[in-house]
Structure 1
Amino acid sequence: MKQTLIIPETHKDERLDQTLAKLLPDFSRTQIKEWIEAGTILMNGQPVKAKTRVKGGEMISVEVVIKPQPVWEAQAIPLSIVYEDEALIVINKPAGLVVHPGAGNADRTLLNALLHHAPALQALPRAGILHRLDKDTSGLLVIAKTPAALKDLSHQLKKRTLLREYQAIVWGTLISGGTVDAPIGRHGLQRKRMAVTESGKQSVTHYRVAEKFRAHTRLKLRLETGRTHQIRVHMAHIHHPIVGDATYGGRVQLAKGMQPELIQQLRQFKRQALHAYALGLTHPETGEFIRWEIELPSDMKALISALREDMKRSRQ
């Protein structure tokens, strides 16, 4: 599909990719930038760069190239839907459910379940999934149901106005909250792991103490950025890894005098004790800010109960 347009003078001195994102609202700025770099968008018949400043009056020709979307199978997998309307869905993802098909997980994912629930999502990139949770992290995710909602929510995610809050149980006792501002990238030797590295992308995690135990702390955390394994890597970086995290947490750590019930809980906790308990966003159609919050899953509640009992008995 090919179309032409003239840049209005009201956009003078703007970047070309910014201007076209406004003039072509059905497409994201990222998609437009890819087309510019591929040479399918021309200015006055010539290739151009995305950062070029426009003056107004330029003729733009756009050769729209839509990449075919993979055809995923719709599968009848139960979903815990917290909220749904014409624009979006909010899901409470259980631990153990992979979000998107990939190597080793061709199907039986959240995406396959979403396509069974709302077949029209097949037409959207990644079936409208904006952000991910690790397989063994539980909690809230938002899915866009329309191209307009996907673009709006993606913009909120990029501008860091989409609120994502977590609870975690970590090893060690933290005295107070703080912020971890440390870049994250691929581990130099173990490519399936992430690590704090100078060559990584900026990554910022804010945390505060919710509850202290004898040798553990329950934290509430807020993501400012959203890198792969970000909270897990950052907590390990400050030497307070998340309980149950086999990748970044190391061995089970036992404190002197720890109650047998707690020892059993810790040894049997086979996933990272991390839960996305709160999600907030500006609704793409109404403009209203909405916040959702859900309870901790039963396995984390049981662990917290054992930690409280251990601390209670240590004081007797």
Structure 2
Amino acid sequence: MTQAQSSNATLPETDFNLLEDSEEADNHNSDATATRLSLQFQLDESFLGQRIDQVAAIVWPDFSREKLKQWLKDGHLLVNGNSVKPKYKSEGNELLTLDVELEPQTTSMPEDIPLDIIYEDNDLMVINKPVGMVVHPGAGNITGTLVNAILFHYPKSVELARAGLVHRIDKDTSGLLVIAKNLEAQFALSKQLAKKTVYRVYDLIAYGAIIAGGTIDEPIKRHPVDRTKMAILPGGKDAVTHYNVKERFQHFTRIQARLETGRTHQIRVHFSYLGHGLVGDQVYMNRVRVPAGASELLTDTLRGFKRQALHAAKLGLVHPRTGEEMMFEAPWPDDLTHLVEVLRTENKTY
């Protein structure tokens, strides 16, 4: 049974695996509903000299710059109550006012796909994503995604960018995701992501004997040749992973990792870089490594584990409306539970 509990403890500063890096909007005020949107933002000198469409994209990162430019041209986005062109340069003291009726933000169709909902209220829901579910539709995956499921469960999500998603995890990673159900919640959660006040912990099984915990601080960017992969390369985005050893086996280690940043494939890339790739990772491990003398059970279990042994186990955030600090937990899926049980019996330390 999945556990969810509230906590009054101060959450460590960390980060989600972001769809996109977002800027802060500290003085954002909203009277938004999911249909009619009325927003105001008071600019300060930090925006001096920037194009107003660029400023608007920083202030309201959940809308595309092109959409904001169109709203400027149509008079839905005003500067000090006046219509201006997108190339208008900010004086660093204007009041932005956005008043618009939202239109569908996605062409994805709702599908009756079951969701493992850990928590839900009028502002957000936290789900435990199963292995194999793609989060967002893309090339080759236009149906059967989490977005399709969200649109069926909560149809008004069609009016939100990415159906309310503010972060994602890989198709073959299981675990916790938070989804906003209105724009106020989406803006607030995006702000928490930008300020790194969301707590996220993963459980994983890595190859090799890792003696102690530590921190991996290595930049990550897209692989220059294989575009499906990320790599540690100069000029990449800062990427920091903190980790602790939770359980040692003879040839494997169970790790708990906390993200300080949220880069694509961050944990997988970082541990592969250390020479301790994740069990089952078919992108960053070139083959299944079966220890010499392994039992038939261990051999079959390793060869049959076809996805990275990675699970988003804990999620901490501040509720966007009540300000309550909340902590959620999701149990391991059956395949990860079985893997650990086999390692405990077939690969225990001497």
Task: Give TM-score scaled by structure 1 length.
Answer: 0.84
Does the aligned pair in 2 maintain the 1:14–1:53 contact within 8 Å? no
SS in structure 1 of the partner of residue 347 of structure 2: helix
2:231 corresponds to which of 195, 203, 210: 195
Identity in percent: 46
Q: Gaps spanning 5+ residues in structure 1: where?
A: none
Query: Hey, what does 1:28 align to over in structure 2?
Result: 60
1:48-86 residue CA offsets vs partner (Å, 9 max, x unmatched): 45xx562x4x58787979886222111011110000000
Larger Rg: 1
Aligned AA (1:300): L
1:125-150 residue CA offsets vs partner (Å, 9 max, x unmatched): 00001111111000000000010000
Does the alignment pair 1:303 with 2:339? yes
Does the alignment pair 1:122 with 2:158? yes
Superposition map of 1:103-114 within 5 A: 103-114=139-150
1:237 corresponds to which of 273, 285, 295: 273
Query: Hey, what does 1:97 align to over in structure 2?
Result: 133
Q: Which moved more, 1:265-274 or 1:248-257?
A: 248-257
Kindly tell me the number of residue pairs found equivalent between the two proteins. Answer: 300
Aligned AA (2:237): K
Shift of 1:182: 1.2
Q: Flag the 1:78–1:66 CA change in 2: closer, same or farther, 3 A.
A: closer
User: How far apart, CA to CA, are the structure 2 residues paired with 1:59 and 1:161?
Assistant: 28
Query: Hey, what does 2:330 align to over in structure 1?
Result: 294
Task: Give TM-score scaled by structure 2 length.
Answer: 0.77
Shift of 1:228: 1.2
User: How far apart, CA to CA, are the structure 1 residues paired with 2:176 and 2:195?
Assistant: 19
SS in structure 1 of the partner of residue 45 of structure 2: coil
Does the aligned pair in 1 maintain the 2:131–2:172 contact within 8 Å? yes
- Flag the structure with more relative contact order, 1 or 2, with Cα contacts below 8 A and sequence separation at least 6: 2
Q: Flag the 1:142–1:217 CA change in 2: closer, same or farther, 3 A.
A: same
Query: Hey, what does 1:74 align to over in structure 2?
Result: 110
Aligned AA (1:221): A
Does the aligned pair in 2 maintain the 1:36–1:42 contact within 8 Å? no
Shift of 1:197: 1.4
User: How far apart, CA to CA, are the structure 1 residues paired with 2:141 and 2:293?
Assistant: 42
Query: Hey, what does 1:248 align to over in structure 2?
Result: 284
1:264-313 residue CA offsets vs partner (Å, 9 max, x unmatched): 1001100000000100100001101000012111111111111111234x
Aligned AA (1:188): P
Q: Which runs of at least 4 in structure 1 moved beyond 3 Å after TM superposition? A: 11-14, 29-49, 58-68
Q: Pairwise CA RMSD of aligned residues?
A: 3.2
Q: Flag the 1:42–1:69 CA change in 2: closer, same or farther, 3 A.
A: same
Q: Gaps spanning 5+ residues in structure 2: where?
A: 1-37
Superposition map of 1:203-218 within 5 A: 203-218=239-254
Superposition map of 1:124-139 within 5 A: 124-139=160-175
Aligned AA (2:153): H
Q: Flag the 1:191–1:259 CA change in 2: closer, same or farther, 3 A.
A: same
Does the aligned pair in 2 maintain the 1:42–1:62 contact within 8 Å? no
